[in-house]
Amino acid sequence: MKITGIKAYQVDLPLKEGKYSWSEGKSVDVFDSTVIEVQTDAGVTGYGEVCPLGPVYLPAYAAGVRAGLQEIGPQLIGHDPTELEKLTRTMDYLLKGHPYVKSGIDIACWDILGKMAGLPVCNLLGGRYGDDVVLYRAISQRPVQEMAENVAAYRAEGYRRFQLKVGGNADDDIARIHAVSEVLQPGDKLVADANTGWLVHEAARVVNAVRDVDVYIEQPCASYEQCRAIRQRTSLPFVLDENIDSIEMILRAAADRAMDVVNIKISKFGGLTKAKQARDLCASLGIAMTIEDSWGGDITTAAIAHLAQSTPTDLLFTSTDFNSYGTVCIADGAPQRVDGRMAASLEPGLGISPRMEILGDPVVQIQ
Ligand code: MG
C-alpha cells in the first residue's frame, strides 16, 4: 500500500465565546486549522487535523503546518501509510524538529490503518477503556467574577473538571482561584493553568496564598527549572505541560518527581504514534495524564477521543472536546459531549467524514 497524494485544507474556527484568552494577555479570536488528507493506491483516504493555539503558545504556527507539508510531503509519496513507526522515522529524517507539521499526516495514516483493519483507532492504540472519557472545560481568562460565573455555567452543562486560565496578575489570579473554588462541589476538580505566565516570585506568592484550596497548579513558569523550584515550594498537586514535549523530558521529570500529572498534546509530540509512546511510558510510570492537543475542531477531537479512551481510566486525569468550543462543524461523526464526557467512535479509523463543502478547495496539493 502506498501514499499517492497529500492535500491540506485551511479552515477558520471561530469561538462561541468570541475570544479565548490565557496568560500574559495572549488570546485568539478565530483559530486557523489545517485539515490533512492522505490518499492511497488502495482507494482509502485518511484525515488528520493540526491547529496550533495561535503562534505564541508552543513553537508552532498555523501557516507553518502548510509550509512544512510542502517541505516533506513530496518525499512521502510512495511510503506505506500503515507502517507508522517507519513513517515517523522517515518524517524525522526529512525534517528536524517541527513535530506539529508531522502530526496531521500521522493522524491521517492512523485513520487509514483503522479503515484497512476495519477497527477503530482506539482499539489499535491499545484497547477501549470504559464507555467514555471525562472532559475538562478550559475557562478563558477574564475578570474574577466572570470566570466564577463561567465555571458555574459550564458546571450546569455537565462538566466537573475545570482548567482556569491564570498566569496574569498574581493578585488577580489568587482571587480567581478562590472565587472559582467556591462555586465547585465535592468531586469536582480545579486546575489553575498559568501557561508559563508567572515569574518564580509571583508563582511562589500564588501557591502560598492558595495552599488551603483543593487545586492543581499547572505549568506556573516558563522553564522546567523554574517550575521545579515552585514544585519544591508547594504541596499542591502539580501538572507540567509546555516543557514536556519528548520522551526524554518525561523520563527527566519522572526521575526528578517534578510532576503528578502530565499534559500529552498530540501535535506537541508529533502525532498519535509519538503521543502513544509518551502515553504508554507515563502509564508504565504511574503518571496520570491529560490527553488532548493544542486546539482543533472535529477531527482533532476525534483523534483525542481515540487516544484518551485507549488510556487506562485510572491514569486518564482528563481530556478535551475542542469541537464544542467552536461554531463550525468540519466533520460528521466526531464525538459529541454528553454530561461532561465523550466517547471515541466505534467505526473503523477515526470514524469521521469531513464536510468538504466547509473545507473548500485544498491549499496544498502534493502528488
Ligand atoms: Mg496547559
Query: pLDDT tens, 285-342?
Result: 999 999 999 999 999 999 999 999 999 999 999 999 999 999 999 999 999 999 999 9
143: three-class secondary structure by DSSP: coil
- pLDDT of 28: 96
Averaged pLDDT score across all residues of the chain: 98
Q: Is the pTM of this model over 0.75?
A: yes
335: three-class secondary structure by DSSP: coil
Q: Which residues of 185-199 are buried (b: 16+ CB within 10 A; e: fewer)?
A: eeebbbbbbbbbbbe
Q: How far is the CA of 2 from the centre of ligand 1 (A)?
A: 37
Q: How far is the CA of 218 from the centre of ligand 1 (A)?
A: 6
What is the third-level CATH fold of 3-119+354-366? Enolase-like; domain 1 (3.30.390)
Q: How far is the CA of 241 from the centre of ligand 1 (A)?
A: 5
Q: Which of 26, 102, 115, 165 is catalytic?
A: 165
Is there a catalytic annotation at residue 268?
A: no
Tell me whether the CATH fold assigned to 3-119+354-366 matches the one assigned to 124-353: no
Residues by chain with Cβ below 5 Å of ion ligand 1 = 193, 241
The domains of the chain are located at 3-119+354-366, 124-353
- pLDDT of 73: 98
In this prediction, what percent of the chain has a pLDDT beyond 90?
A: 100
d(CA 274, CA 125): 11
Q: How far is the CA of 201 from the centre of ligand 1 (A)?
A: 20
Q: Which of 26, 265, 268, 276 is catalytic?
A: 265
d(CA 336, CA 248): 34
- pLDDT of 97: 97
What is the third-level CATH fold of 124-353? TIM Barrel (3.20.20)
Is there a catalytic annotation at residue 265?
A: yes
Q: How far is the CA of 365 from the centre of ligand 1 (A)?
A: 33
d(CA 266, CA 152): 29
Residues of the chain with pLDDT under 50: none
Q: How far is the CA of 185 from the centre of ligand 1 (A)?
A: 23
- pLDDT of 114: 98
